[in-house]
Amino acid sequence: MPVPPLCEYGRYLSPPLLDETTLKDYGRAVGRLDDHLTGLGSDVLSAVESDLASYRDQRTRWQKKPIGWAAWGKESFVQDDLYGFLVDRKILTHRPARVAARGRNALAPQVRSPVELGPVADSP
């Protein structure tokens, strides 16, 4: 586990930026990601997009109680924030996952436009 960069990220997030509950949520999300990457023989600093996609699939499809897309959206945001921090601090040269349209995290839940969802029924 690359402790110094993760500790730097934790100090960056510390109050007053986030409240205690949110800090704990971020810490757990980063810890789960790190544990998954360790199981793949990787770590936060050497992860590639397929490692992060594997983690997404584990959390949303394969774990005993998969999380929904809303919960995954929050975890995806934490990952994106972590990797943005690591790039901004020049700890990494680039994010492990490509950046999708309009700067979106490519591993975030898909947002469908109203056209893709189909027509909305009129209210009675």
The pLDDT value recorded for residue 117 is: 42
Q: pTM (2 decimals)?
A: 0.80
**pLDDT tens digits for the chain (124 residues)?**
457 899 899 888 887 778 889 889 999 999 999 999 999 999 999 999 999 999 999 999 999 999 999 999 999 999 999 999 999 999 999 999 877 666 666 577 765 444 444 444 444 4
DSSP per residue, 35-103: HHHHHTT--TTT--HHHHHHHHHIIIIISSS---HHHHHHHHHHHHHHHHHHHHTTSSSS-SS-B-GGG
pLDDT of 104: 60
